[in-house]
Amino acid sequence: METTSVVELAIANLLSPPVLAFALGLLAVAVKSDLRLPEPVYQAISIYLLLGIGIKGGVALRDSSLQEIWLPIAVTLLLGVLIPLGAYVISWWFTRLDAINRGALAAHYGSTSLVTFTAALVFIESSGQFAEGYLVTLLAILEVPGIIVGLLLASRARKGGIAWGESLQEVLSGKSIVLLVGGLAIGVASGSAGFASIEPFFGGLFTGVLTLFLLELGIVAGRRLPDVKRTGWGLVAFGTLFPLLAGFAGVAGGLFAGLSVGGAALLGVLSASSSYIAAPTAVRLALPEASPGIYLTASLGITFPFNLIAGIPLYYWYAETLGGLIGWN
C-alpha cells in the first residue's frame, strides 16, 4: 500500500460496504424513510462489537510483553489528558460557548469512538497492513480519562460541582469499559485456541455486522443534520479541524512510542474520534445544563461522519508520511 496515494486510499475507504451503508443511512433520512434498526438489535450489536473487539485484542495482547507496551500506554494516558484540554481551549476560539458546554465537548473529544476505531481496523486489515493487537488496550485506556478531564473543566464553572462518586461509578461500570476490559481478559485467558471456536461469530461476521450497524448510525447522524445548521459554522469548523489536530497528535505520539505505521494510524483515529456511547451518558447526568444539541451534534453529526469518510485514510496518510520522515516502517 506504500505506493498508493492518499486519494486512492480515500476512495478505497469510501467504496467499502460499511461506509456506503453509512451513506445509505444518511440518504434514508433525506428521503424521509421510516427505516430504523430496532433499538434492542442496535444495543445487541454494540455489545457484540465491544466484546468481539475486546476478545480479539486480548488474544493479541497475550503475545505482547510489558516492555513493549508500557510506553504506548503512557503516551495514550498523556493524550487522554491533553486532547480534552485542547478541545476545551480550541472550542472557545471557534464557538465562544460557555465553560460547561466546552467541558462537555472536551469530555466527548477526549474520549473515543468504538465504531470509528472498528471501521479503521477494517480499513487497515482490508488493505493488508499490520497493526499491533494491543491497540484495543489503548482504546479501553483512552475511553475514561478524557471524560474525567472534561467533567473537571466544566465543574469549575458549575455551582454545586459534580457528584463525582456517582459519575465515576457510571463511567467505569458502563458497558463500554466492562465489555472492552472484560473482552481483553477473556482473550488473554482463552488465547488463540479458545478464540478459534468463536472466530466464525466474532471474527468472520465482523465487517458485515459493522455494515448493518453503520446503516443505523447513518440514520442517527442524518437526523442530527438539521441541528448542524442550527448550531452554526463555528461548531462545524471545530468538529472537523480539531480531529485533524488531535489525529496528528495521536499519530505522532504513536510513532514516538514505537508503534508501526498501522498502529500509529489507529492511535491517530482514537485521538481524533469523539465518543458517543460513554461520554453522552456521563455528561447528560453530570452536566444537565450542557446542551445535547451541541455536544451530540458535534460528536455524532459532524466528527463521526467526517472521520469515517475522510479522517481514517488521512490519519493513515499522516502515519505513513511521518513514519517515512523519521525513517520508520
Partner 1 sequence: MELTSRTVVTIVAESALESRLVADLSAAGVPGYTVTPAHGAGVRGQREGDIQGGNIRIETVLPHDTALGILAMLQDKYFSHYACVAWLSQASVVRGEHF
Q: Interface with its own copies by CB under 8 A: which residues?
A: 15-17, 20-21, 24, 27-28, 31-35, 37-41, 43-44, 47-48, 51, 55, 122, 126, 169, 172-175, 178-179, 182-183, 185-186, 189-191, 194-195, 197-202, 204-205, 207-209, 211-212, 215
Interatomic CA distance for residues 252 and 166, integer angstroms: 35
Contact between 307 and Na ion by CB under 5 A: the answer reads no
44 binds, among partner 1, its own copies, Na ion, none (CB under 5 to 8 A by kind): its own copies
Would you say the C-alpha torsion 28, 33, 37, 40 has a positive or negative sign?
A: positive
**Which residue do the cell numbers 486489515 mark?**
125
- Residues in the chain, total: 329
160 binds, among Na ion, partner 1, its own copies, none (CB under 5 to 8 A by kind): none
Please pick, from the candidates 145, 187, 243, 280, the single residue that binds partner 1 as defined by CB under 8 A.
280
Please pick, from the candidates 298, 300, 312, 314, the single residue that binds partner 1 as defined by CB under 8 A.
300
Please pick, from the candidates 19, 183, 224, 254, the single residue that binds partner 1 as defined by CB under 8 A.
224
216/320 with CB nearer partner 1: 216
Distance of closest approach, residue 210 Cβ to Na ion, in angstroms: 19
51 binds, among its own copies, partner 1, Na ion, none (CB under 5 to 8 A by kind): its own copies
Distance of closest approach, residue 239 Cβ to partner 1, in angstroms: 16
Interatomic CA distance for residues 20 and 18, integer angstroms: 5
Residue pair 275/147 in contact (Cβ under 8 Å)? The answer is yes
Half-sphere exposure of 75 (CA within 13 A, CB side): 23
Helices (H), 232-291: 233-256, 261-272, 278-286
Half-sphere exposure of 42 (CA within 13 A, CB side): 12
Radius of gyration of the chain (CA): 19
